[in-house]
Amino acid sequence: MLKIKLSKDFIRNTVKRALNEDLYPSGDITSSLVKNNKIIKVKLLSNQNAIIGGLLFAEQAFDLIDNKIKFLIKKKDGAQVKKGSLIVTIEGKAKNILVAERVALNFLSHISGIATKTNQFVKLAGKQCKICCTRKTIPNMRVIQKYAVKLGGGTNHRFNLSDEFLIKDNHIASSDIKNLVSLAIKNKKRKKITVEVDNLKQLKTIMGLKFNTVLFDNMSLKNLKEGVKIARKYYETEASGNINLKTVKGVAKTGVDRISVGSITHSASAIDFKLEI
């Protein structure tokens, strides 16, 4: 698994593209009406309980517009905050703060949203079961979204298609499960191998082969529990398939090692923040 690295250059370049999107071709024509010599001090507040994430992206948004803006962080990425909490104080020229405001809040809201939703799943699953993200991410945003999952206490699944073998239902439908697993073992070159099954018959077909993880997809709790019992001595076990906050606790109780949840990246609600002047 590739380690996620959010270098200063990566953050700065990502934010720069976002600002270009917001300001092309004529800049902020509304904020240009504000006198640029007026200095203001604003508070960045959370309008709801949340896990904070994305502060370095927000900071870069202001810095790229005006490096004289003071961005004083009161809560760090990964911090759990309550509604009304002060996250940052910002001081500088009013016009420039207004120009950077939306891009800064967009990064903060999105990253915090993923971290917060992930943390909700993590708490319900308990300490013995990991919550993993998937590749169901916004194109070109995967590094950022997987970073957010880590902030929320989750575990990163494979980053891309080269990270490990993941033999899924459509691979199996196009071939033979036992043959695919055997080929993966032959060609693994230190890569991990995960095999998805959607029934116990498939599981029994591949038992004894040397791979790493069995992924139980869209199985009933009864069958999942039985599958975990059969496989756990030999393989890591994982569950997936439309698992939500109402069902995750029951899935975790089957004894599965980890649960992969696509919704923590593709459907996390943004956290509501505001700048109070």
The pLDDT tens digits of the residues spanning 194-213 come to 999 999 999 999 999 999 99
Instruction: Note the pLDDT of residue 36.
Output: 76
Give the pLDDT confidence score for residue 100 in this predicted structure. 98
Tell me if 2 is assigned to some domain.
Answer: no
Please give the helix or strand (H or E) that residue 100 lies within, else none.
helix 94-125
Check residue 7 and give its pLDDT: 93
Half-sphere exposure of 116 (CA within 13 A, CB side): 24
pLDDT of residue 37: 84
In a domain, 42, yes or no: yes
Catalytic residues: 102, 136, 168, 196, 217
Does 1 reside within a domain?
no
Secondary-structure percent of the chain, ordered helix, strand, coil, rounded to 5: 40, 20, 40
How far, in Å, CA of 126 to CA of 145, rounded?
A: 22
Is 55 within a domain?
yes
Domain assignment present for residue 153? The answer is yes
Shared-domain flag, residues 108 and 183: no
**Residue 201 and residue 93 in one domain:** no
Question: Within this chain, do residues 135 and 103 fall inside the same structural domain, yes or no?
Answer: no
* Residues 238 and 256: beta-carbon distance below 8 Å: yes
Positions in the chain short of pLDDT 50: 1-2
E-only strand ranges, the chain: 39-46, 50-51, 70-73, 80-81, 86-93, 130-132, 165-167, 193-197, 213-217, 236-240, 258-260, 273-276
Looking at the structure, do residues 80 and 180 belong to the same domain, yes or no? no
Query: Is 127 in the same domain as 261?
Result: yes
Report whether the peptide linkage leading into residue 25 is cis, meaning its omega lies within 30 degrees of zero: yes
137-155 pLDDT, tens digit per residue, is: 999 999 999 999 999 999 9
Residue pointed to by tokens 């992930």: 118
Whether 155 and 253 share a structural domain: yes
Please tell me whether residues 160 and 94 are part of one structural domain: no
Both 94 and 207 in a single domain?
no
Q: Is residue 77 within 8 Å of residue 151, measured between CB atoms?
A: yes
What pLDDT is recorded for position 26?
A: 96
- pLDDT of 3: 58
Torsion angles phi and psi, residue 35, rounded to 5 = -65, 125
The pLDDT of residue 5 is 72
Q: Domain range for residue 200?
A: 122-266
Q: What is the CATH number of the domain that holds 218?
A: 3.20.20.70
